[in-house]
Amino acid sequence: MNGAGRIAGLVVAVAGLGWLGWMPVRSMYLDDRAELQRNIVKAVDLVDRYRSGRDDHGTVSTAIRAFVDRTLGGDLETVDHELRTRLNRLGEEIGLRKLSVSTGSVRWLESPARSLPAFRGHRELREEIDFVEVEASITGEGSLDEVLRLVHRIEAEPWLKRVNQLRLNARDNGERFTVTLRLVTIFLPGRSPAGTLQAIANPGAFDRYDPLVDRNPFHLPPKTAETPTPEPAAPQPAKDPLGTWVLTGVVTGPGGVEVWLLDTNTGDSRRLAIGQTLETLTLVSAAGETAEFAVGDRRFTVQIGHSLR
């Protein structure tokens, strides 16, 4: 083997030994190091998010406190009592008749943080109830002005609410109404408002409803007495000038056949020979007890004793 071949073999041998030495180092140290670096990046990101949330804690707490202070209490019993009391008072102050207030279903809503990863020791915060919804309804009877004032007063109340339904049933031609209003309020369990919310007895701004009250689209004006239109007179049949003429005889005289006619209304009489006319009639022929007349293209026969009609 020449010198170049020995050198090439030596290089291959050294490369092989290097590769055999690199594999254990990579599998024992470098692969684990890369996995550790990836985990470190994830941990740093999680810590940064936690730190950001901690820095915003004051701002979030202030916002939550503002919501809590607009609730009616921190537990279901208190909220249910306050809700019924306030709705009853509103209906009585407005003057609704047949007033009825009730509370309905309750929904306990869980925190969306359940789907997020949590640090050790914060599991109870993820699993606590976020807030609770309480349904209520108020029903009563009143004028259009009164039922709209109920809507206006509830809208102006400072406690948190969402109106889900408003139904008005008009009666007595819009003079009185049955109103039903359904709403939902919320509270945060265990977090009570700092003070009692004061009801707003006169919220103002009701004048926006004045045009609707004045117009009252549910009221129909009384019907005005209408002068009956006279029925058109039935058309009278046109008088038939020949209706009063009666055929009284068929006679054969020196001049030939002729017919005798009598007007039963006036007593006038006429004698017609063949070819002569009376009004629009022309005598065509006559024999025995009948006579034949023509009116334009039409012909008809009349017996003695019968009208020319």
Q: Could you tell me if 211 and 81 lie in one domain? A: yes
Q: How far apart are CA 230 and CA 241, in angstroms?
A: 31
Q: Could you tell me if 100 and 43 lie in one domain? A: no
> Does residue 233 sit within a domain?
no
Q: Could you tell me if 209 and 157 lie in one domain? A: yes
φ, ψ (nearest 5 deg) of residue 221? -65, 150
Q: Could you tell me if 49 and 72 lie in one domain? A: no
Q: Which domain holds residue 50?
A: 3-55
Q: Could you tell me if 134 and 26 lie in one domain? A: no
> Does residue 228 sit within a domain?
no
What are 100's strand-pairing partners? 139
* 0.85 exceeded by pTM: no
Cβ atoms within 10 Å, residue 308: 20
Q: Could you tell me if 181 and 109 lie in one domain? A: yes
Q: What is the pLDDT of residue 120?
A: 53
Q: How far apart are CA 182 and CA 165, in angstroms?
A: 5
Helices (H) and strands (E) in the chain, counts: 7, 11
Local structure of 26: helix, strand or coil: helix
- Residue from 153, 134, 152 nearest 73 by CA: 134
Which residues, at least 6 apart from 145, have a Cβ–Cβ distance to it below 8 Å?
209, 213
> Does residue 292 sit within a domain?
yes
Q: What is the pLDDT of residue 191?
A: 92
User: Vertex 79, ends 76 and 83: CA angle to 5°?
Assistant: 140
> Does residue 234 sit within a domain?
no
> Does residue 238 sit within a domain?
no
Q: Could you tell me if 183 and 282 lie in one domain? A: no
Q: Could you tell me if 287 and 190 lie in one domain? A: no
Q: Could you tell me if 81 and 208 lie in one domain? A: yes
- What's the CATH number where 153 sits? 3.30.70.60
Could you report the average pLDDT of every consecutive run of 10 residues in the chain (309 residues)? 56 52 57 72 77 74 90 95 96 95 92 64 71 96 96 94 94 93 95 88 87 87 69 62 78 77 79 84 84 86 80
Q: Could you tell me if 46 and 72 lie in one domain? A: no
> Does residue 109 sit within a domain?
yes
Q: Could you tell me if 174 and 80 lie in one domain? A: yes
> Does residue 108 sit within a domain?
yes
Asked which of 30, 55, 80 is the last residue of a domain, the reply is 55
Question: What's the number of domains the chain is made of?
Answer: 3
> Does residue 105 sit within a domain?
yes
Taking CB atoms within 8 Å and a gap of at least 24, the contacts of 117-122 are 117/46, 119/50
